[in-house]
Chains A and B, each alone.
Chain A
Amino acid sequence: MSNPNLLEVEDLSVSFRTDRGWVRAVDSVNLHVAPGETLAIVGESGSGKSVTALSILRLLGDSGQVDRGRILFDGSDLLELDDAGIRKIRGDRIAMIFQEPMSSLNPVLTIGKQVAEPIQLHRGLPWSVALEHATELLRKVAIPDAEHRLGDYPHLFSGGMRQRVMIAMALACDPRLIIADEPTTALDVTVQAQILALLKDLTRETNSALILITHDLGVVARYADRVAVMYGGRIVESAPAGELYSNPQHPYTRGLMNSIPGLDGSPQSRLITIEGQPPDLANLPPGCAFAPRCPHASNVCHDQKPALEQIAEHHLRACHGYE
């Protein structure tokens, strides 16, 4: 049987050069996603979600470096491509949507030009034709009066509308994979739901894969097929979404579940956060990174890093176990 996965991240480790030396932000991460599938990556701030996503498109910048690993997309390793090669993938085969709709659009270029740009670039079409496509795309993401808004600048759009523009831009070249890095964090709740539903519908329509990065397990419950939970740069649990909800196995995942406000529908339910601080990546403990905060931690947890192991079908966990 041929490989059903569109993207496979194998044993990826990424470090950053900082004032305190090299800091490993992502450690031995494995991920895969198939066409039409939505994979959620969940975790607290600083757990390495964005770094993982940026590595896929090789957008880490000058201070970051991939130490190890392979990123197979359609069978070829993205890390092996030359600059021109990866540029052909960016925006065409793999598109990315960023967290900050307010600052992610160029303030001095019209919306039309920014949405049309990937089409002009990758399809080699003249601007006039690309702009027609852009109108179509803006209509698809439900921007009212699309043809007239083409010439408007980003500051005339609300946060939600800008994120729709970002989605239109990402969809421009019919990418096989869309990576959405906390696409709705900056938006209010009703707009969040609209944007996520839109994203989900559009990817289902084109059978493209979606990697949805979020720190909100509530979002995951409704939109993801599979979930990978990250902590301190590692994946600590991964499972199909339903399985993860009904049967969370890692103490950190359980903690996250408890911190979702009102998942049971009651608006008053208290926001429980996990005790303690997120780990300092420059100074990780020798054992499990979560051990200092874990209510079940035993000696072995403080001494040895747990490996990610299969505990049920499609369900992986990195934990020494507890009763």
Chain B
Amino acid sequence: MRLIPGDIIDLMLAQNDIATGQDRAAIEAALGLNQSLVAQYFSWIGAALTGDLGNSLWQNVPVVDQLAATLPITFELGLLAMIVALSVALPIGTYSAMRQDTAGDYISRSFSLLMLAIPSFWLGTLVMVFPSVWWRWSPELNYIPFTEDPLQNLKHMLVPAVLLGLSMSAVTMRMTRTMMLEVMRQDYIRTARAKGLSESLLVLRHAVRNGLIPVVTLIGLQAPLLIGGAVILEQIFVVPGMGLLLLEAVFQRDYPVVSGVFLIVGVGVLLINLLVDLSYGLLDPKVRHQ
């Protein structure tokens, strides 16, 4: 980040027309940027441990406050996207496996490949542009907090959440298909079939939970992807979440904000993976007993 050409002082000075070497040194000192990088790092860590992530270099408000304002919004977006992703990926992936090598299977696999190949910013832009050209409809862009008007809020969040969810569903769908195919080959499925179970009971009662165990791991691994996608979609759909905050901070070289966001992202990824580990216990009795 610090290696990117053009630092914050350049940007500040460019906006204010006063460009002397003396001003530059003064601002650096005021913002604490004249110390070595190592020193800056340790003072940031030290403060972070006490819950102080510093102030934004531009707005001079605590980074913690900015994060507190934006985190719930991104969390909502991520949660919605996850729900979309799973409710698309699990049924379609399972269907695809049950109808292996039929037209339905090929269609859903192509769809998954397509979702994998199309970047969500492109899809996002398409959704912004074409409906407005064709039907004079465009997605909601006014952010209204969930607490004020849940319906209006969901209306705004829905489009980016669906786009993000679809792009996440691609890998999960393929994984679900592979795992279900694998599970359906197992001996215990043959046992269940020999008991006279119908195919649907076979899948629902005997296959799904076994197939889900590895899929859940994948969801954990996808958490960083989710956050990356959120950055882009928040920008396109003007969702004032952490992604938008991060993007602006990067453009403005607002170092403390960037560090703060990444700290939260790191903690978030850790938490998601912890949840994943805990959910193994629910799915896999072997884990539960240990």
| B283 touching A91, Cβ below 8 Å | no
**From B187, B193, B195, contact of A169 by CB (8 A):** B195
Residues of B with C-beta under 8 A to A118 = 195-196
Determine whether B192 belongs to the interface, using a CB cutoff of 8 Å to chain A: yes
Most buried by A among B186, B193, B196: B196
| B196 touching A87, Cβ below 8 Å | yes
Q: B208's closest neighbor in chain A, by CB?
A: A108
| A104 touching B191, Cβ below 8 Å | yes
For the complex, give the distance between the alpha carbons of A103 and B284 in Å. 15
| A95 touching B194, Cβ below 8 Å | yes
Residues of A with C-beta under 8 A to B209 = 108
Determine whether A98 belongs to the interface, using a CB cutoff of 8 Å to chain B: yes
For the complex, give the distance between the alpha carbons of A314 and B196 in Å. 35
With A87-B196, A92-B196 as given contacts, are A98 and B191 in contact (CB-CB < 8 Å)?
yes
Residues of A with C-beta under 8 A to B196 = 87-92, 118, 121-122
Determine whether B286 belongs to the interface, using a CB cutoff of 8 Å to chain A: yes
Determine whether B188 belongs to the interface, using a CB cutoff of 8 Å to chain A: yes
For the complex, give the distance between the alpha carbons of A166 and B206 in Å. 16
For the complex, give the distance between the alpha carbons of A89 and B193 in Å. 11
Identify which of residues 266-289 in chain B touch chain A, using a CB-to-CB cut-off of 8 Å: 283-286, 289
Q: Give, as a whole number of angstroms, the nearest-CB distance from B265 to chain A.
A: 33
| A106 touching B210, Cβ below 8 Å | yes
**From A88, A108, A156, A166, contact of B283 by CB (8 A):** A108
For the complex, give the distance between the alpha carbons of A307 and B283 in Å. 55
Residues of B with C-beta under 8 A to A106 = 188, 191-192, 206, 210
For the complex, give the distance between the alpha carbons of A121 and B188 in Å. 17
Question: What range describes how many residues of A lie at the interface?
Answer: 20 to 34
For the complex, give the distance between the alpha carbons of A87 and B199 in Å. 10
Determine whether A155 belongs to the interface, using a CB cutoff of 8 Å to chain B: yes
Residues of B with C-beta under 8 A to A157 = none
For the complex, give the distance between the alpha carbons of A26 and B237 in Å. 64
Residues of A with C-beta under 8 A to B205 = 109
| B286 touching A91, Cβ below 8 Å | no
| B190 touching A104, Cβ below 8 Å | yes
Per-residue 0/1 for A151-167: is the Cβ within 8 Å of any B Cβ (1 yes, 0 no)?
A: 00101100000000010
Residues of A with C-beta under 8 A to B195 = 90-91, 95, 117-118, 121, 169
Identify which of residues 22-44 in chain B touch chain A, using a CB-to-CB cut-off of 8 Å: none
With A57-B194, A91-B196 as given contacts, are A98 and B283 in contact (CB-CB < 8 Å)?
no
Residues of B with C-beta under 8 A to A147 = none
| B210 touching A107, Cβ below 8 Å | yes
Residues of B with C-beta under 8 A to A105 = 188, 191
For the complex, give the distance between the alpha carbons of A166 and B188 in Å. 11
| A90 touching B194, Cβ below 8 Å | yes
| B190 touching A98, Cβ below 8 Å | yes
For the complex, give the distance between the alpha carbons of A59 and B186 in Å. 13
| A108 touching B194, Cβ below 8 Å | no
| B191 touching A87, Cβ below 8 Å | no
Identify which of residues 111-159 in chain A touch chain B, using a CB-to-CB cut-off of 8 Å: 117-118, 121-122, 153, 155-156
With A98-B191, A100-B187, A107-B188 as given contacts, are A121 and B285 in contact (CB-CB < 8 Å)?
no
For the complex, give the distance between the alpha carbons of A191 and B139 in Å. 69
Residues of B with C-beta under 8 A to A109 = 205-206
Residues of B with C-beta under 8 A to A96 = 191, 194
Q: A110's closest neighbor in chain B, by CB?
A: B285
Identify which of residues 62-100 in chain B touch chain A, using a CB-to-CB cut-off of 8 Å: none
Q: A105's closest neighbor in chain B, by CB?
A: B188
Q: B198's closest neighbor in chain A, by CB?
A: A87
Q: A87's closest neighbor in chain B, by CB?
A: B196
For the complex, give the distance between the alpha carbons of A105 and B195 in Å. 12
Residues of B with C-beta under 8 A to A156 = 289
For the complex, give the distance between the alpha carbons of A121 and B196 in Å. 8
**From A59, A108, A122, contact of B193 by CB (8 A):** A59
Q: Give, as a whole number of angstroms, the nearest-CB distance from A170 to chain B.
A: 9
Determine whether B197 belongs to the interface, using a CB cutoff of 8 Å to chain A: yes
For the complex, give the distance between the alpha carbons of A59 and B201 in Å. 16
Residues of B with C-beta under 8 A to A90 = 193-196
For the complex, give the distance between the alpha carbons of A105 and B198 in Å. 17
With A87-B197, A121-B197 as given contacts, are A108 and B190 in contact (CB-CB < 8 Å)?
no
| B285 touching A153, Cβ below 8 Å | yes
Q: B184's closest neighbor in chain A, by CB?
A: A61
Q: A106's closest neighbor in chain B, by CB?
A: B188
Q: A179's closest neighbor in chain B, by CB?
A: B194
For the complex, give the distance between the alpha carbons of A172 and B96 in Å. 34
| A153 touching B188, Cβ below 8 Å | no
| B206 touching A103, Cβ below 8 Å | no
Identify which of residues 52-72 in chain A touch chain B, using a CB-to-CB cut-off of 8 Å: 57, 59
Residues of B with C-beta under 8 A to A91 = 194-197
| B210 touching A108, Cβ below 8 Å | yes
Interface residues of B (CB under 8 A from A): 186-188, 190-198, 201, 205-206, 209-210, 283-286, 289
Given A92-B196, A121-B201, 11 new contacts (CB under 8 A): A57-B194, A87-B198, A90-B193, A91-B197, A96-B194, A106-B188, A108-B283, A108-B285, A118-B195, A155-B286, A169-B195
Q: 3 closest A-B pairs (Cβ-Cβ)?
A: A91-B195, A90-B196, A91-B196
